Amino acid sequence: MLSQVLRFTFPAGSTISSAAFLKLRQQIAAAGAASQYYGYTTPTRVLSLPRKRHEACWVIHWPNERQDRSAVAEGLISTGITDATSLEFEFTEAQLEHLTKALDAPICEFACIRLRDDAPLEDEALQKSMHKTYSDTYQIPGFTGGYWTYALNSNETAGVSCSSPGPETIPKSHRRLGVYYLGWDSIELHEDGTQTAAFSEEIDKLQPYFGPGSGAFYTILRQHK
């Protein structure tokens, strides 16, 4: 299953509740999308990546990475959205259950660890810490579930412009952007969690490998029905 995470702003006079965006989501569902979530990103006091005012996030799940996704870029342009960027991730069907717990949560955090260009990707201890910083989150009160993987199409948190030519897939051995879909009952519980030993244990080990773009953005999502 391929998960596509888009961020963008609507043209002046339009919002996430517009008829045009509803029509676009309906078109994407007809094009084969398995599920969709959408909402605005929200500012927080800790670990936030830069965000645009009134920035929206749209998560689209496709049955597989070979699915034709050209309707997304075409539809965004037709609704006047010109600044959309995309990150793409591959998950198994078994992992989808965990992802859904993050996307359905009151707050869905997309935590990004952009490993430095000189980080030893083949190092087993590094990769173990990349996963354990996710699994340790289950010890933090207010965490509802989630999962993580490396981005397929970019090593930069900003993602790839949707107006770019067809997406390129980064070889697995060169992927450096780990993104964690994390669900929280509230922003404050997440903020409290960043002060716990469960949060800091692996983050402290990974910190020397953090490159520019490491941080997080936060969303309040609803599912397209």
What does each of the 225 residues of the chain score in pLDDT, given as a tens digit?
Answer: 999 999 999 999 999 999 999 999 999 999 999 999 999 999 887 768 999 999 999 999 999 877 888 899 999 999 999 999 999 999 999 999 999 999 999 999 999 999 999 999 999 999 999 999 999 999 999 999 999 999 999 999 999 999 887 668 999 999 999 999 999 999 999 999 999 999 999 999 999 999 999 999 999 999 999
Residue 126 · residue 119 · CB < 8 Å? yes
Neighbours of 198 (CB within 10 A): 17
Res 47: pLDDT = 66
Amino acid of residue 208: P
Res 187: pLDDT = 93
Res 168: pLDDT = 85
Res 43: pLDDT = 86
Give one DSSP letter per residue of the chain, joined into a string: -EEEEEEE-PPTT--TT-HHHHHHHHHHHHTT-SEEEEEEEE--SSSBPP--TT-EEEEEEESSTTS--HHHHHHHHHTT----EEEEEE--HHHHHHHHHHHTSSEEEEEEEEB-TTS-TT-HHHHHHHHHHHHGGGGSTTEEEEEEEE-SS-SSTT-EETTSSSPPPPPGGG--EEEEEEEES-HHHHHHHTTSHHHHHHHHHHGGGB-TT-EEEEEEEEE--
Res 45: pLDDT = 79
Report the residue count for the chain: 225
Amino acid of residue 165: P
Amino acid of residue 196: T
Res 68: pLDDT = 84
What domains are defined for the chain? 2-222 (3.30.70.100)
Res 184: pLDDT = 98
Nearest to 99 by CA among 59, 144, 147: 147
Residue 37 · residue 223 · CB < 8 Å? yes
Residue 79's φ and ψ, nearest 5 degrees, are -95, 5
Nearest to 59 by CA among 117, 7, 127: 7
CA angle 175, 181, 91 (to 5 degrees): 60
